[in-house]
Amino acid sequence: NFSDEFYLRDLFFSSLISALFALLRVGGSGIDIRSKARTVNGPITDASQLPKWNYDGSSTGQAPGEDSEVILYPQAIFKDPFRRGDNLLVMCDCYTPQGVPIPTNKRHNAAKIFNTPNVAAEETWYGIEQEYTLLQKDVNWPLGWPIGGYPGPQGPYYCAAGADKAFGRDIVDAHYKACLYAGINISGINGEVMPGQWEFQVGPSVGIAASDQLWVARYILERITEVAGVVLSLDPKPIPGDWNGAGAHTNYSTKSMREAGGYGVIKTAIEKLGKRHAQHIAAYGEGNERRLTGHHETADINTFKWGVADRGASIRVGRDTEKDGKGYFEDRRPASNMDPYVVTSMIAETTLLL
């Protein structure tokens, strides 16, 4: 069973070392994630116990060849679902040797926003719905689709079961198990509207932890698809035409929104988001204009609107939130390839600091 295979691959190696930690960081494109591994004396219980390290930034487009060292600062630790034992996955951010965050280090600014007293007091919760597409290796065509051809139209694939409707479930279930083992607050998975497309949800998680967890969940998924010989795509519109795109809907609430009278706070926050629509769209992922067309459960990229239970809106409010007079809302604009550090901190900044 493929969904259990990766649990067995490195058990022997794991028993021979004190603690091995794989250091993860965002790569030069801003949407890829790179890693390298190091052995230390363990066990390790907090990222502060780990040493800084470095890598060749000239090979990732993050530093010039004549001054290529980029320094890794460990920030968050997770149990390693591949090597298990005392081994860890470590989310890092990246700095110059002088301690200046490099341009692709979006975590640094996000941490500043989340540590602002007004934001910290509101205990921002996020639930991020990460959609993705599984592609056949070498042909870059969705898993389960005939090469060079198309399956039947959308309709029977969403949350479906069956060999003719659900493609790649072993990968999805392996990823689900691995994230649970790692300590990621993964709250669910489902098949999506376009065949070969899936979704997992991270959260609710507080502040910057939501972004740390999403990046590590993406890394774990990339590793599992690597073993399976399948390509992971975060393209927001992998197939042109009458097929759904892929987003990263971001659910958000503050302490004030979750308390009595919170619906008024939600409306005020949505109004603030509308005033900065263009700035948010510019930061919400590459290629999003191919997805946000006003069709396939999206609002047009140049239009801001919100509604209750409206999946064609920029911001959707749930029926329960309307009924209870408090709760959360969903920002449906972020693309599947968005940087969660940018998106989550920008939502907090717009709604709480401006």
Q: What are the C-alpha distances in Å from 114 to residues 160, 208, 229?
A: 38, 7, 38
302 φψ region: left (φ > 0), alpha (ψ -120 to 50), beta (else): alpha
Rounded to an integer, what is the distance from CA 24 to the centroid of its chain?
14
Cis peptide before 43 (omega within 30 of 0): yes
- Fold classification of 117-353 is Creatine Kinase; Chain A, domain 2 (3.30.590)
Q: Spelled out in words, what is the top-level CATH class assigned to the domain 16-104? A: alpha beta
Per the CB < 8 A criterion, the answer to whether 37 and 23 are in contact is yes
Query: Which residue ranges make up each domain of the chain?
Result: 16-104, 117-353
Report residues of the chain scoring pLDDT below 50.
Answer: 1-2, 5-18
The 10s digit of each residue's pLDDT in 22-61 is 665 666 677 788 888 888 887 899 999 999 999 888 888 8
Which residues are bridge partners to 79 per DSSP?
A: 88
pLDDT of residue 23: 64
pLDDT of residue 189: 98
The type of residue at 52 is: K
On the 0-12 / 13-18 / 19+ scale of CB atoms within 10 A, 242 is exposed
pLDDT of residue 28: 67
pLDDT of residue 32: 80
Question: How many other CB atoms are found less than 10 A from the CB of residue 77?
Answer: 22
**Helix (H/G/I), strand (E/B), else coil: 63:** coil
